[in-house]
Structure 1
Amino acid sequence: MGLERDVVEAISSHMIGRRLLLNRKIEIPAAAPYAGLQLAHQAAKNKAFSLGVIIALCIIAFLATKILLGVLLYWRWVRTHRFCEISVSGGRMVVFKTTGKSTPPTKLILKKTQSLTKSDIIGSGGYGVVYRLIVDENNVFAVKKLPRGNHDQQRGFEREVETLSDIKHRNVVALRGYYTASHFNLLIYDLMSNGSLESVLYERPPEVPFEWPLRLNIAIGAACGLAYLHHDCIPHIIHRDIKSSNILLDDDLEAHVSDFGLANLLEENKSHATTVIAGTLGYLAPEYVETGKATRQGDVYSFGVVLLELVTGKRPRDDDLVKKGQNLVIWVRSLLDAGKIEEAFDDELRDASFDEEMKEVICIACQCLDSNPSYRPTMQQVLKMLERVILEVDYKSDDGLKG
């Protein structure tokens, strides 16, 4: 009986456990809602991003192609409209086109250039011989002959010349072209009909006057051209040889700065510090002589010497002054210190109506000639000071007319 009872209890327990198991709610983790939609959305985003990248790359490639094509077309236009070029044996002729001026055929210029002789020489200087080139009645040029360097130097020369051809200013002599031959180079400039300031100051006939207002106007024009080279043109240019023979005068006696950039063209080493001093005795700043380093302040010093030439009518190394152990700068300073600056005035300018203006210009020159380069004015400042002088002259002239 006991055994049967145990069996019955065991079966009952099993049945109850099974019933509980059947009645139990089994929780099965449910899948995240909208999982399929999220995956589809992410795939669409990835596809859209890839498509955007492809489109962006296509746009960039298209724009780059357009830019490259534009650059190529521009340089083709430049070569067609900016200059004409003819290749010749051992070199080439390049003529830059100038807005507002007729440009004769390049072949004609080449032919005339190749026929230059010693009889066409109109001058010479530290940089080379200068020829007069008559192409036709409307086109007369000055041609400067320079030595030719090796292959690498020649390539640098041509790059430098093409950079200089971009310089356009009413008070700077325009570079019209160049010619390369096997042993020399030629630079072609507009010819200034009235020569240089040096020739007008010292070589004109005695009966031809050179009055103060004209001298002051030339000083302002030259200052304007040099200020442009120093501050406004790109790249900025240090002239390194400012002197009266490098200030040329046109039909109206307006000043034009010439020979800018030639020192760089002739340098084997393109750095400003050189072992060879460019420039002319009597015009060189003391610090340039000592260091060989060209600076804008050095150009300002040289321009100060030119101002003294205009007021005194004497060369920087006047023979009479050199015999006394002096030069123009030392002589003028000694008179200024002694209160006798009127004795420095050119005999042709001894007119009391301009004495004050000439004194002012001498004072401006002395600022340019300061022994400390940092105390010298810039050419922009020099130009403003000279313009104030001429404004005062005009003002006084107006007062005189009114009286």
Structure 2
Amino acid sequence: MGIWIINSKLLNEQNEQIAAKIYIEEGKIARIITGGSAEDGGQTEGHEVIDAQGKLAAPGLIDMHVHLREPGFEYKETIATGTRSAARGGFTTIACMPNTRPVIDTPKTVHFVKEKAEQEGIVNVITYASITKNELGRELTDFAALRDAGAFAFTDDGVGVQSAQMMKDAMAKAASLGMPIIAHCEDNTLVEGAPVTDGAFARKHGLKGIPNESEAIHVGRDILLAEATGVHYHVCHVSTEQSIRLIRQAKQLGIKVTAEVCPHHLVLSDEDIPGLDANWKMNPPLRSPRDVQACIEALEDGTIDIIVTDHAPHSEEEKAKGMQAAPFGIVGFETAFPLLYTKFVLTGRWTLSFLLDKMTRKPAEVFGLAQGTLAEGAPADLVLIDLNKEQVVDPAQFLSKGRNTPFTGWSLQGWPAATIVNGKVVWSE
């Protein structure tokens, strides 16, 4: 017995919503019927039927930068709670960062995450492994063993690799294995003890600021190293105009570099921070309006390839410590799509196709994943989105353990209504 999704809409190549009926069998999309024939109620007898009631059917969203916190920080999030939060946000594939405790730096830890995700997770979880042991920047991990255990890429996310020689060695090793290097770009000598960007907010509140060049210095260094080694180099959570300038030039030169941006760096600047509320503290920090505009334009012209959330849950007690002492990070799964749909699609700046492409097809293309498309024969990972639903962001309703968001009280439109992974409904409103 298969599943028929009836009364749904699909986006065609002209960005028009057309009537569609989708048949799912054995975890795959077996058939898509569009146009007038999709109105025909036949063929569904003997199968499970999901009535989409006019909602948009889209490929499941893909998030290549998330923190599930397990092992070691289960009070912040677990693989179980994190994947449920992801499903509610319409994500069907997520890639978890290795800065757990212990760090994901051995085959044993990779196996732990993969097995836990299979047992308790409800979306596809793929895992990074760290570049250096314990993310200390002193000694490379065993890349080949980590790859064989199931890691798909390497990153020391949460900290920048400070040694150029260490990063060059890592890139050479990854390139020899055909694996990508993903970099959190931050020069520690420029950021120590700073909680926000170097700007008007920092000066007003007497806080040390994180300068833009702390990110861009590593981006520039790593681009040169990527050119020298031939590795696929991917830049995490780009936030500055200077970094974008370097990435754009590298792409023009044919260097294999890709990049990502977070929703909060597309819609918020340091001028929006209302006060010393640590729910507005993230790394990279909210930058200037000029940087925000540069990020938007870079996504639009292809300099930045994909959108990620950098979902980073913390406990309320941790975030209550204030702007200086609280940890960096905000949650992102459950607000990402409606936030960007409201701010960019409803205002006419982007088409719906453009937004979905940056959250589905493009991440799959950048990292060689099978997901990311709604097509016959593709994995049956999809989301039904109610584009007309308006709702106020209420962290108390989140499925994540994290409540740390700057978007509390925002009225957003375009909310996921059901999420299907491998042909199974894993979340529904």
Common fold by TM > 0.5: no
> As a proportion of its length, which structure holds more strand?
2
> As a proportion of its length, which structure holds more helix?
1
With the length of structure 1 as denominator, give the TM-score of the two structures: 0.22
Q: Which has the higher contact order (CA 8 A, sep 6+)?
A: 2
With the length of structure 2 as denominator, give the TM-score of the two structures: 0.21
